[in-house]
Structure 1
Amino acid sequence: MYNSGVAVYLQVRQCFFRSIFVRKYNIGFGSPKVDVCSKCLQFSEKIKQASTLEEKATIITEQRLHKLRAKAFYKLLQEDDPKVLILSFDCQKNLPLPKIPDQACYFSMQINLYNFTVVIGNSKTMLTPETVKSFLWSEVDRRKSSNEIASAVFHTLSNHVFHDDVEIVRLMADGCAGQNKNCTVIGMMCGQNKNCTVIGMMCYWLHFCAPTCIKRIEIVFPIVGHSFLPPDRVFGHIEKKLRKTSTIVDPQKYFDIIKEFSSVLKMGKDYVVCDWKAESANVLKTPASWHFKLQKSKRIIISKTANGSVEVKGEPYYNSDVSVFSGICKRGKKIAQMKPKQLDVGRPVKPDKIKSISSL
């Protein structure tokens, strides 16, 4: 409206107009915040309730340190180094089958379709089917557990063409309260029941399958509540398209929509699932017996030694290395002894669920 009412030489770009409008008139635009970090909300409330200036200054300092730690994670995600290959991954929320506008769906049992997405590249990489891999399966195929996640990551690494100058593989995991150090990387677990499924798989890949140029693997966790990864952008595009689709009764419809934004890989057809959990439990120590505190680690680094063995360390900081490498195998066990078995695809559905879906 402004540009249409002034001469050509007075016309401006939208960003310039917006800057003046917001800064000079103190009018902002935005939407209500959702999924805000719990600790950030806690700091905001404490600042409001602070009784003295000293107490308020202390809380503001703690808040600033919290945000600086969160930014340190994104610096690693944004790094553009030819020696580092970055992979970020996350699970989309469960997709219901059937998806119909009938209000009975709210009370009915449905079959869940799972989408685990891996993005190859840093946060500035273009999201194309070549850089985005979506691993799809339903609860009719298998449940969502550490074996399925580990197998998808293993397939991605095993089929990626590495350049000779790549020395480090960096895995960026989600950091939400329900997934940090358990669901996506350490294994799809509940509560405090942690295992080392994906770490065991990564040790196996580095020992047997990794190109000779790969020296180490880094698994990086963000500050909980500050984890917006490239897969979340993919999920946003998918969900925007799904909102315009009121009825989906065939999983192929989901596949076609997701295929617009990524390369779709179907379980049992395009990739297999192996029992990484059993092999990791058989060869590796329990995390409580490791030489570092898993819960406090922001980075888990896996390195190949000169004699071909694999060592691991956990770093509590993003930019400082204070820990030492050591083995995490049980006494008398080696990574070379891992031989994961392929698991069958297909599991029975409860009769009650079949009856409930049939009635829709």
Structure 2
Amino acid sequence: MAILKQDRRGKHENHAHLDPLVKNSIRKHLDSIPKVDSQYCRAKRTYIEGGKTVADLHIDYVAECKSKGLPFGNYLAYYNIFCTEYNMAFFKPKKDQCETCTNYTNATEEDKQIMKHDYELHLKEKQLARDQKDEDKNYTPDNCIVSVFDLQAAMPCPKGDTSTFYYLSKLNCYNFTIYDIKTKDVNCYVWHEGEAKRGAIEIGTCVLKYIKNLEETAKKPQN
């Protein structure tokens, strides 16, 4: 009687091993990519600018190694280290989402039943806020100002399509915009991280400057 040997596929010791120097060169290249700092990045994941793909990064990595006469890893090795050792993703700016709505949308059916009352109350309050804004816009006296404001996602600079710009250390710039719903006038307050942060003090300062500017404009004689 013949006895079949145990299947040894994938269990042999002749696997190709990637040179540690090549692994380190891949890690060094991934570490050199500037990270995105944004108020929309709430997760622990690290985000990098979304102007490239992993394949593009590998092409840049190979070009850098060739220019220095160094050995380099193939795309599969680069992609494997990118996915397994680095919790990175390409950042794509998007509209800020309501946490309550997002939690309800992603909840299980059982949890939705528990959250239903609070969620419906939240929707009513959101609609009331919209109705109030429309009322302020359409039914307030002409001498009343109705404005809304928001802070744009951080803008890393410099910005460009070439690899030269992509791998430069970025300076985050902030843009706080106030929009007059009635007159459609827009005021933008722009600064960079070397001048100030983007907390309550900075936002409050922008709003105060806006109000003072309105006051000064009102005092000017009308032609």
Name the structure, 1 or 2, with higher relative contact order (CA <8 Å, separation 6+).
Answer: 1
TM category (shorter chain) comes to: 0.3 to 0.5
User: TM-score scaled to structure 2, two decimals?
Assistant: 0.43
- From the CA coordinates, give the structure whose radius of gyration is larger: 2
